Structure 1
């Protein structure tokens, strides 16, 4: 599953391990405390997404737009390369 639009969903405390969401749009999605190990979010728009406490170990965030996304306590160990700041 890739290139999907997820808007204003509560997916907190869920397991999305290894899911392919590359090229997707996630706006206003709550992924807090979710297990996102190995998820592919490459080239996705993650605007205003809550990742508080999410496990992003091994996640692919290459080219992802993390505008207004909350990352406190998110586990980004062994994530793929490609995480870069957005210039405004």
Structure 2
């Protein structure tokens, strides 16, 4: 794990000033970095809320407990990124790749994960209320104990997903999803069928 260089630290400090000046005399500068390489960085303790980081490389970075609320992370790559207990409320992670990421206990309320790849991601106990996961790939994704109230899931693909103990499955919004369990693929059509399947899955311990 690496520490940010002086140039990035300066930009992070300016971003903090910008956040603190909202509604006051403007100072600092919003963090805007296109295709930034933040891989392997230890960013714990920095405030990245409202940052603009499209296509950022977050592979193997430590963002545990970091505030990323309302951050723009469209098409970001986050292989094995640590987002434990991070605040991603209303963040935009459309088309992001979060393969094998650790997102336990994270706040993902109204996050946009449309068309995201969550293969092998661990979202145990995450708060996904009213999040958008339409068109996403959830291959062996762990959602144990997650709050799925109002979650949007249309056209997503769920392969051997662990939903044990997840709550809010009876409020999920989706017209069609594809589920694969033990190599058996099934297309579920209609919100009632989808909710029934998800509720059943949440009541059974998953064997991996």
Runs of 4 or more, structure 1, over 2 Å off, are: none
Change (3 A) 1:86 1:54: same
Q: Give the alignment's TM-score, normalised by structure 2.
A: 0.40
In the TM superposition, what whole-angstrom CA distance separates every residue of 1:34-75 from its partner, at most 9, and x where no partner exists? 111111110111111111100000100000011111111110
Contact 2:90 2:108 in 1 (8 A): no
- RMSD in angstroms over aligned alpha carbons? 1.7
Where does 1:12-51 land on structure 2 (aligned, <5 Å)? 12-51=39-78
Q: Identify the residue that residue 85 of structure 1 maps to in structure 2.
A: 132
Partner Cα separation in structure 1 for residue 79 and residue 73 of structure 2: 14
* Bigger Cα Rg: 2
Which of 95, 104, 126 pairs up with 1:68?
Answer: 95
Deviation at 1:86, TM superposition (A): 5.7
* Runs of 5+ consecutive residues of structure 1 not aligned to the other structure: none
* Runs of 5+ consecutive residues of structure 2 not aligned to the other structure: 1-15, 20-29, 112-130, 136-208
Give the number of aligned pairs: 88
Q: Which has the higher helix share?
A: 2
Where relative contact order (Cα < 8 A, 6+ residues apart) is larger, the structure is 1
- 1:6 is aligned to 2:53: no
Partner Cα separation in structure 2 for residue 67 and residue 81 of structure 1: 13
Partner Cα separation in structure 2 for residue 66 and residue 85 of structure 1: 10
